[in-house]
Structure 1
Amino acid sequence: MDTPYQSHINKNDFDYVYEPAEDSFLLIDALEKDLPYLKAKEPIFCLEVGSGSGIVVTAFGMAFPKTFCFSTDINFRACEMTLSTAIQNNVLLDVVNMNLVSCFVNNKFDVVIFNPPYVVTDTTECGGCGIEASWAGGVKGREVTDKLLDAIPKILSPNGAFYLLLIKDNIPLEVVQLMSKKGYKSETIITRQVRNEQQLVLKFYK
C-alpha cells in the first residue's frame, strides 16, 4: 500500500492538525498486511473516523480506487487537510466535519478505520475540536473510543471489518470483550513497540 504524497501540506498546518506519526503508519501497514482479506471483500464504502491529515484513508483509496471513501473529523482544519491530501493523490473522498459518526446509520460501511485519541488524560481534556481532539483520550485513553464502539453496530455492514489502533494503556483485552458482547470476533493484525508505547491494530468482524 503506497504512502500518499504530502508535499502539498505546509508544516505550519501541523500546529492545528495531527501530524502523521508512527501510529498513522502502523495503521497503513496493518491495512497492507490485511490486503488479501480486504480485496476479497470488494468494499464499496470505506469510512475513516478522525482522519487528521488524511493519509490513512487516502492510502486506502489509492489501493481501492473503486471504493468510495468517506472521512469525518471534529477538527475543521483536519477536514480541509484530509480533502487536500485526497485530491493531491487522485482519491475520490467525501469529508464530513462532525463528531465521530453521529450522522451515519444503516450499516453502509464495509470498512471502518479509527486511530483514536488514545492518550490517558483527565476527562476534562476530552471534547475539544482543535488539535487536542487528536490525542486526549480521557480515562484509560478510551472515552472517545468507547463511544465509537457503541456506534459500530449501526454503521458497519454485516460483512464489514473495523480496524482500530490502540496502545497497551487502553487495555485492549477489555475492548475485545466489549466488542465480543456486541457479536464481533477480533484479530490482532499488527503490533509494534514505539518508544514507551506498545501500539497494536485490532480487526473486528462478524
Structure 2
Amino acid sequence: MTDGANERDGRNEPGDGLASLREVDDAVVYQPAEDSGLLAEAALAEAHGHVLEVGTGSGWVADRVATERGLEVVGSDLNPHAARQARERGVEAVVADLLAPFRADAFDAVCFNPPYLPTDPDNEWNDWMEHALSGGESGRELIEPFLADVDRVLAPGGVVLLLVSSLTGYDEVLDSVEAAGFDHEAVVEESFPFETLTVLALRRA
C-alpha cells in the first residue's frame, strides 16, 4: 500500500485507527473523577451478585467492581462512545437509555452516578458531554425517572447505590427516594469547595 493510500484512510500504522477512536472517545466520554471514586468505594463495599452500572462512562467503576470483587457486572450508557470504551476496558456494556432494556428482577445491585449539574436551558451545549454532566434545570432530570423504574429491575434483597450532589437538592432527592418506596442510608460522603457528594444505599422499605 502506498503512503498516499495510508493518508487517505487515516492510518499510518495498523493500530492507529483504534488509537484515533480512543482519542475521540476521551473527548466525549466522562472519565473517572472524584465522584467516580466515591461510587466505586461504595460499590466495593455494598454490591453483590449480578451488578448493573447505569451511565458507566469509561467503565472504570464497573471494571473495579468486577476485578476487585469478582462480580458479574454489566455497564450501560446512552453514549455509544462510552459503551465502546467500557468494552475496551473489558466491561460488558450496552447502549441503553437508563433501565429501559433490562428485565425485571435482573440485578442484585444497581449503581448510578447520574448527570447532576443544574443547567439553565439557555446554556445547554448539546453534545455527549452534556448528556454526561447536565441534570437539567433542577439537576434531577435523570434521577427522578431512574428512581421511578429501578425497583422493577432490582432483585429481592437488592441494593441501589445512587450518587447525589448537594447541587441537586439533597432533601429533594431524598423525597423522591422515599416516594419510590426505598429506605436510604448514606454510605460514603465527601465535601468539596462547591459541593458535597454522597452515595446513598437504597433498599426496599
On whether the aligned pair clears a TM of 0.5, the verdict is yes
Equivalent in the alignment of 2:64 = 59
For 1:26 and 1:117, locate their aligned partners in 2 and report how far apart those are by CA, in whole Å.
Answer: 15
- Please state whether the residue corresponding to 1:117 is helix, strand or coil: coil
Q: Do 1:124 and 1:138's aligned partners in 2 also have CA atoms closer than 8 Å?
A: no
Deviation at 1:197, TM superposition (A): 1.7
Q: Do 2:22 and 2:85's aligned partners in 1 also have CA atoms closer than 8 Å?
A: no
Q: Are the structure 2 counterparts of residues 107 and 19 from structure 1 closer, same or farther at C-alpha, using a change threshold of 3 Å?
A: same
For 2:95 and 2:124, locate their aligned partners in 1 and report how far apart those are by CA, in whole Å.
Answer: 17
- Please state whether the residue corresponding to 1:143 is helix, strand or coil: coil
Deviations 1:159-201 (CA, angstroms, capped at 9, x unpaired) = 1000011111212222222222332110011111223121111
For 1:133 and 1:17, locate their aligned partners in 2 and report how far apart those are by CA, in whole Å.
Answer: 10
Deviation at 1:10, TM superposition (A): 4.8
What's the TM-score once normalised by structure 1's chain length? Answer: 0.81
Equivalent in the alignment of 2:133 = 135
Equivalent in the alignment of 1:110 = 108
Q: Are the structure 2 counterparts of residues 166 and 126 from structure 1 closer, same or farther at C-alpha, using a change threshold of 3 Å?
A: farther
Does residue 158 (structure 1) correspond to residue 159 (structure 2)? The answer is: no
The more displaced of 106-115 and 178-187 is 178-187
Q: Are the structure 2 counterparts of residues 69 and 125 from structure 1 closer, same or farther at C-alpha, using a change threshold of 3 Å?
A: farther
Does residue 48 (structure 1) correspond to residue 60 (structure 2)? The answer is: no
Q: Do 1:127 and 1:133's aligned partners in 2 also have CA atoms closer than 8 Å?
A: no
Equivalent in the alignment of 1:100 = 98
Equivalent in the alignment of 2:37 = 25
Does residue 84 (structure 1) correspond to residue 85 (structure 2)? The answer is: no
For 1:145 and 1:126, locate their aligned partners in 2 and report how far apart those are by CA, in whole Å.
Answer: 18
Deviations 1:64-108 (CA, angstroms, capped at 9, x unpaired) = 32x3211110110000111111x2xxxxx4211111111113121
For 2:162 and 2:24, locate their aligned partners in 1 and report how far apart those are by CA, in whole Å.
Answer: 28
Does residue 182 (structure 1) correspond to residue 186 (structure 2)? The answer is: no
Identity of aligned residues (%): 29
Q: Do 2:99 and 2:150's aligned partners in 1 also have CA atoms closer than 8 Å?
A: no
For 2:163 and 2:79, locate their aligned partners in 1 and report how far apart those are by CA, in whole Å.
Answer: 19
For 1:138 and 1:61, locate their aligned partners in 2 and report how far apart those are by CA, in whole Å.
Answer: 31
Deviations 1:123-149 (CA, angstroms, capped at 9, x unpaired) = 577796612110010022000111111
Equivalent in the alignment of 1:5 = none
Q: Do 2:54 and 2:99's aligned partners in 1 also have CA atoms closer than 8 Å?
A: yes
List runs of 5+ in structure 1 lacking aligned partners. 1-7, 88-92
The CA RMSD over aligned residues, in Å, is: 2.3
User: What letter corresponds to residue 45 of structure 1 in structure 2?
Assistant: H
From the CA coordinates, give the structure whose radius of gyration is larger.
Answer: 2
Q: Do 1:75 and 1:131's aligned partners in 2 also have CA atoms closer than 8 Å?
A: no
User: What letter corresponds to residue 58 of structure 2 in structure 1?
Assistant: S
For 1:168 and 1:14, locate their aligned partners in 2 and report how far apart those are by CA, in whole Å.
Answer: 27
